[in-house]
């Protein structure tokens, strides 16, 4: 949660005049999104989210992200739709930062994930993959296998501060992942950060997917692997294979998975766990303990990685 | 800005079921209020604010604050109205904290204060004073003259870290205020924290007054003195007597000011400046520089106090 940039009423008024969205009724900074400043903007025409992009989002990537949301929303996916200003542009500037206004989605993100949530997520993710198939732009995944070693190089001297032996463990696992990483799977548009925070529900039903600021072009099954980690482990660290099965089966009803994709899941899940282990470790080592941003435990992802090392095929995730 | 307590979807659902306000559509932590956790709650019946009271608000004072808002709102003041649960109570509990749901007000707080804003504020403040006159409860002002010396005792050894000579200055001014503080002015319900953050506007018109968590029983003109400090100085520190005159004249159109009240204004304004100088100084000395909460400059109020020391009558505020 954060609001990094404060927008004054006069800056807001001038900015909103660039859109055909009516008059401002209310404007409140909201605790949503870790990387950017987000405001809930209410006008006499409805509710909108105004985002100011802070330094961790590369300006050069913004046309990709905004174009993608517009593409998906136009195909009926429940995701934020960027609004165009009177000048036709969706990417504008406010307080010296790139900024955009997107549509508001109802629903709440859930903390206690039920079987029904996991099933619903599987279908929504597959739908997103299908609707993203004809998106014409592409963006490499900086945080896939090629990006992990450079990240680890910056951490390895201090990794053992978090857990003795961690550097050696990561080194060996990285080598294994680099050797075996699947390169022939169906690729397309992946969200790449589909954590429960980024999915809104009404009851059991997905009502929105948000925060496309890690979206990129990669193996579609890699998105599933990220969700196996983010949705199917219980708070005590145990893996809930029923949740995994429901998620995967709902996915397959919308977009069938090939044998190659199913067989690659354990390795992809190890890779997805490595990605979050490395980024969380980086933040852990580089964020002072009392800082504004709450640090997330990197070892949660070490333990998930260890779990997947013990899985030999899709049967470990409850499916054939 | 802050959200101190995170409310899970399940805790929220159970809590909202205690009210007749429909089904939750959306729930977002908002950056409003410094002391408590605030959420914007949207249901199929409308928008509401859910507040969890954190440790700086005394639970014993909450019935006063909530009762007051209900009293004022029932008389047509644009302020949050506490909702009653199905059990008839407006003060309830959530996540182990006292909590309340209040009505949502449109409007935005303004940063660049115009003459029209100051005029509009004066009328709204007087209206609040009139509507509060028959509120049956009372609450002493802990942060008035009797409370300043104990606060200063906790600061005086370190006050000169902020400005050399500050401790001696405060000591002398405190003695003067204690000696001359007016005790015979008309009293009633005062907001006691009517800063621009706590007033919503639509254009020039006040659409809401919020954050009654310092409200108390005191001289009504003391509220005016707080506003002279908070609304009539320019960012460069200069005093805008036109703003003061407009504010005071708009106030007087709704609630006339006696000669005693007008004559007391310079002293009340010194006292109001002292109150914020002392509380800001306390926070400054007791908040680590890198902490979550942004520290406010105590010397802003030292300079305001110095200005009022040079004023001998209401003429200094542009009125007779």
Looking at residue B82, which CATH number applies to its domain?
3.30.200.20
Same domain, residue pair A134 and A256? yes
Nearest to B8 among A1, A24, A111 (CB): A111
Same domain, residue pair B45 and B128? no
pLDDT tens for B15-32 read 999 999 999 999 999 987
B2 falls within a domain: no
pLDDT tens for B273-302 read 999 999 999 999 987 665 556 678 999 999
Query: Would the CB atoms of A31 and B29 count as touching at under 8 Å?
Result: yes
- Per-residue pLDDT band at B93 (split at 50, 70, 90): very high
Instruction: Out of A103, A124, A141, pick the residue that ends a domain.
Output: A103
Same domain, residue pair A76 and A199? no
pLDDT exceeds cutoff 90 at B256: yes
A60 falls within a domain: yes
> Which of B218, B269, B219 minimizes the C-alpha distance to B241?
B269
B222 falls within a domain: yes
CA distance, residue A246 to nearest chain B CA (Å): 22
Give strand ranges (E) for chain B. Answer: 24-30, 37-43, 46-52, 92-94, 97-103, 187-190, 199-202, 205-209, 216-219
For residue A233, the cross-strand partners are A239
Q: pLDDT value at position B148?
A: 97
> Which of B145, B161, B150 minimizes the C-alpha distance to B284?
B161
More confident site: A296 or B305: B305
Instruction: Out of B57, B83, B103, pick the residue that ends a domain.
Output: B103
Query: Would the CB atoms of A108 and B42 count as touching at under 8 Å?
Result: no
Interface of B with A (CB under 8 A): 1, 3, 8-10, 12, 24-32, 40, 42, 104-112, 200-202, 288, 290-292
pLDDT exceeds cutoff 70 at B160: yes
Mutate to test the interface with B, among A5, A30, A109, A210 (most CBs of B within 10 A): A30
Q: Which domain holds residue A40?
A: 9-103
pLDDT tens for B201-232 read 999 999 999 999 999 999 999 999 999 999 99
Same domain, residue pair B263 and B301? yes
Q: pLDDT value at position A290?
A: 59
Q: pLDDT value at position A6?
A: 85
B109 falls within a domain: no
Same domain, residue pair B256 and B175? yes
Same domain, residue pair B62 and B168? no
Looking at residue B206, which CATH number applies to its domain?
3.90.1200.10
CA distance, residue B216 to nearest chain A CA (Å): 27
Helix (H) or strand (E) holding B309: helix B298-309
pLDDT exceeds cutoff 90 at B319: no
CA distance, residue A174 to nearest chain B CA (Å): 36
As a whole number of angstroms, the distance between CA B56 and CA B69 comes to 19
CA distance, residue A293 to nearest chain B CA (Å): 9
B3 falls within a domain: no
- What percent of chain B is modeled with pLDDT above 70? 96
Q: pLDDT value at position B248?
A: 97
Interface of A with B (CB under 8 A): 1, 3, 8-10, 12, 24-32, 40, 42, 104-112, 200-202, 288, 290-292
Q: pLDDT value at position B1?
A: 41
As a whole number of angstroms, the distance between CA B201 and CA A250 comes to 49
Nearest to B112 among A8, A28, A31 (CB): A8
Domain count, chain B: 2
pLDDT tens for B183-207 read 999 999 999 999 999 999 999 999 9
DSSP letters for B67-85: HHHHHHHHTT-SS--BPP-
A109 falls within a domain: no
Same domain, residue pair A97 and A128? no
A1 falls within a domain: no
User: From the first residue on, what is the mean pLDDT of each consecutive set of 10 residues in chain A (320 residues)?
Assistant: 76 95 94 83 95 90 97 97 96 95 95 95 98 97 96 95 96 97 97 96 96 97 98 95 97 97 97 97 82 79 97 90
Q: pLDDT value at position A1?
A: 42
Mutate to test the interface with A, among B10, B26, B291 (most CBs of A within 10 A): B26
A58 falls within a domain: yes
Query: Would the CB atoms of A108 and B12 count as touching at under 8 Å?
Result: yes
Which two tokens mark B151? Answer: 């606060």
Same domain, residue pair B225 and B122? yes
As a whole number of angstroms, the distance between CA B198 and CA B210 comes to 5
Same domain, residue pair B131 and B204? yes
pLDDT exceeds cutoff 50 at B305: yes
Same domain, residue pair B126 and B267? yes
């Amino acid at each position: 949660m954060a609001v990094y940039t404060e927008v004054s009423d006069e800056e807001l008024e001038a900015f909103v005049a660039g859109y055909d969205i009516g008059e401002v009724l209310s404007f409140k900074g909201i605790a949503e999104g870790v990387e950017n400043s987000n405001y809930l903007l209410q006008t006499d025409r409805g509710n909108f989210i105004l985002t100011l992009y802070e330094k961790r989002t590369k300006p050069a990537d913004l046309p990709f992200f905004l174009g993608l949301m517009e593409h998906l929303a136009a195909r009926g996916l429940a995701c934020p739709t960027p609004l165009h200003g009177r000048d036709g542009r969706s990417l504008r500037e406010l307080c010296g930062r790139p900024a955009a206004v997107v549509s508001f989605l109802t629903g709440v993100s859930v903390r206690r994930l039920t079987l029904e949530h996991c099933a619903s997520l599987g279908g929504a993710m597959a739908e997103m993959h299908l609707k993203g198939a004809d998106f014409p732009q592409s963006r490499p995944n900086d945080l896939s296998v090629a990006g992990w070693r450079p990240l680890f190089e910056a951490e390895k001297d201090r990794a053992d501060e978090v857990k003795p032996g961690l550097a050696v463990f990561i080194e060996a696992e990285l080598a294994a992942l680099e050797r075996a990483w699947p390169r022939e799977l169906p690729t397309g548009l992946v969200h790449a950060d589909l954590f429960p925070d980024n999915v809104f529900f009404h009851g059991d039903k997905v009502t929105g997917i948000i925060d496309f600021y890690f979206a990129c072009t990669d193996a579609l099954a890699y998105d599933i692997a990220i969700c196996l980690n983010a949705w199917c482990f219980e708070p005590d660290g145990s893996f809930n294979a029923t949740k995994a099965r429901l998620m995967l089966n709902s996915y397959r009803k919308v977009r069938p998975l090939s044998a190659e994709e199913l067989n690659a899941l354990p390795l992809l899940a190890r890779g997805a766990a490595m990605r979050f282990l490395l980024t969380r470790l980086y933040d852990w080592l580089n964020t002072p303990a009392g800082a504004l941003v709450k640090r997330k435990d990197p070892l949660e992802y070490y333990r998930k990685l260890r779990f997947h090392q013990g899985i030999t095929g899709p049967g470990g995730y409850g499916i054939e």
